[in-house]
Chains A and B, each alone.
Chain A
Amino acid sequence: MNHTDGAFVDVLQFLIMGIQRGSIYAMVAMGFNMIYNATGIINFAQGEFVVLGGLMMVTLTMAYNLSIVFAFILTVLFLIIAGILMERLTINPVKQPTVLRLIIITIAVSIIIKGAAMVFWGKGSHYMRHFSGTESLDFYGARILPQTLWIFAILFFVVVAYILFFNYTMTGKCMRACAINRDAARLAGINDRKMVMLSFALSAGIGAIAGIIITPIIQMDYARGAMLGLKGFGAAVLGGLGNSMGAVVAGVLLGILEAMGAGYISSHYMDAIALVILLFVLFIRPSGIFGSSEAMRLKEF
């Protein structure tokens, strides 16, 4: 193997690593956006959904020995219920919602979920078997885990499902209408409160999926939510809040930036590199890469 080949393999390896990281950020960011579109708030408990999904999956597959597919479905359902409960118990009863108040409420919920996860699952790190083995595959010299392929595939599937849902189903269209203009949507007979609930259910479901597919690689413990949430928030903002396809691109981009930064600049400053770029993008384009300032105006803080 000559020198150029080695360099090429490294780039490829960083890319794979970056896209894998980014896929998770992308899914967390999609979850953020769903709730943002319905309510205008950022749900700080989004990272906790991912943690719950991962931990639940670990229990179902490792302790109860359920098959991966069955456990997958059960976990997503469980999280959807958790999302609905969160909305019904903490968001719906708020009579005078202001953005800051709702955000602090979601922070409180994230602390509660974290505390509950700590009590139920303990403080240790939980691991689960990969979907299909740990023998890494050769990809033009770079190594890729089967689980990474699963992550790419499932992200692709989620994105397609997302597009189909919001463009071709009545409920999806109603949710979009609410996102664009809530008052007008209500006048048209759409039950906007129900749409809020639905947005929490869907975003918890996406969080669960992200947690399920990443846990075999990164392991899961109760305290991981904050970091995942922060990165996902970064992706959502970079892509332009409310723009889920923007978030997917931005999430993957953020992941690649981190991987390249760690590989070529410094692992000590890995996370800072992506953040500095994020800040510069914001300073140049105050509403993200794909966000429009028009849409931002509609959602005053």
Chain B
Amino acid sequence: MKRILILVCLCAAMVFSASTIYANPEAYHVGCAFAVTGKASWLGEPERNTVEMIAKQINDNGGINGHPLVLHIEDTQGDNTRAVNAVKKLIKKDKVCAIIGTSRSGTSMAAIPVATQSEIPMISCASAAVITTPVEQRKWIFKVGPDDSDAARNIFEHMNAHDINKIGILTGTTGFGAAGREQLKEIAGEYGIEIIADETYNPTDTDMTAQLISIRKTGAQAVINWSIVPAQSIVSQNMQQLKLTIPLYQSHGFANIKYAEAAGDSAEGCIFPAGRIMAVDTLSDDHPQKAPLTEYKKAYESTYNEHVSTFGGHAYDALWILVNALKKVGDDPAKLRDELENTTFVGVGGIFEYSEKDHCGLDKDDFALLTVKDGKFVVLKD
């Protein structure tokens, strides 16, 4: 019995000694909760890298109105329980004024009640529409990931222009894929497009031949592959293997040049909506996003020696939006929240226009349709 008590005391002691309070009262404390390791680390890692890079840049230039920016970065491992703990730790222990993250839709949904109850603004880097709707229940929650429905609309418009009206969809069984599947089925009718095959695959799946054959059997005129996991690059390879030559559309989850590299020449010609960061070199100079995109791409690629990705771009937008608000109103969470609602920001993901009614701030024009040409992402011409 004593032993248990001793153990409890020991645990408590360790916990207490860890709760160091940061000495600099002037600093602005911002919390970041990303899936740096675990099943969604391809999201969390570029996000973490990006915010660290920007924070260094800001502090090297004298901070925010003289206040240094202190980032507290927690790893959610893409796990809901860890995300709840991480966000709680940031709010209760590190006393941050706002939170950036989390990376996945699922972890964001799990963390939303915590942020809402503590009345701390949270800018999610995930994209599911439910994160910021209904907006009455999401007073404290914003997001920088674009709405899936806007991506879907871009695809459907292109299909309309090319007389494609019977399609098969193939979605991954992650939060991203499931949300996409929902939106595709909901919106297709508006564009007179009929979904005649609806297949899914696991993030751990290694072969989508069976699903593709089922789609082929229905006589679909095109395939939409909607997923964010690395396994999606197998889809185009399987299509090549099966000599299935109907057009392949991908989601904005494909916007990672590594996926195109992995898919090799089978990805050539596939069409997908994405933020303009993916094809910044082919963007015209008078585009308002040209400057921030070029700057971010250059800084990221020279610092980390790896390709820039949309996901890191989400963290870029989230942090800069927050820093701009901090500049104006300081680190009071309630004032920050009100300021965020009035934010307009030209960023990597697009032109954000937050309002009382809209905590996402992007619309379908913030996507561009891209394609893969000679192993590179380029803006689709037609």
Contacts and interface: CB of A to CB of B under 8 A. Distances in A.
B264 A21 contact: no
B214 A263 contact: yes
Given A143-B242, A224-B204, A17 B39 contact: no
A17 B213 CA distance: 11
A contact residues, range:
20 to 34
Interface of B is mostly: helix
Contacts, number: 80
A271 B202 contact: yes
Nearest to B202: A271
B240 A136 contact: yes
A127 interface: yes
Interface in B34-77: 37, 39, 41-42, 45
A15 to B, nearest CB: 11
B227 interface: no
Given A124-B42, A270-B210, A134 B37 contact: no
A267 B207 contact: no
Contacts of A6: 217
Interface string B191-223: 000000001111010110111011001000000
A10 B207 contact: no
Contacts of B138: none
B209 A17 contact: yes
Contact of A17 (B42, B45, B199, B207): B207
Choose among B210, B233, B241, B261 the residue with the greatest number of A CB atoms under 10 Å from its CB: B210
Contacts of A10: 213, 217
**B45, B213, B240 pick with most chain A CB within 10 angstroms:** B213
B230 A125 contact: yes
Interface string B152-186: 00000000000000000000010000000000000
A120 B241 CA distance: 32
B152 to A, nearest CB: 20
A262 B241 CA distance: 18
A8 to B, nearest CB: 12
Given A118-B37, A223-B39, A13 B209 contact: yes
A219 B200 contact: no
A75 interface: no
B175 to A, nearest CB: 16
Interface in A1-42: 6, 10, 13-14, 17, 20-21
Nearest to A123: B41
Interface in A209-245: 214, 217-219, 221, 223-224, 227
B262 interface: yes
B258 interface: yes
Interface string A97-119: 00000000000000000000010
5 contacts: A10-B217, A17-B210, A124-B230, A268-B199, A270-B210
Interface of A: 6, 10, 13-14, 17, 20-21, 118, 123-125, 127, 134, 136, 143, 145, 214, 217-219, 221, 223-224, 227, 259, 262-263, 267-268, 270-271
Given A13-B213, A123-B42, A262-B210, 9 more contacts: A17-B207, A21-B206, A123-B37, A125-B258, A127-B262, A134-B241, A143-B241, A227-B204, A271-B202
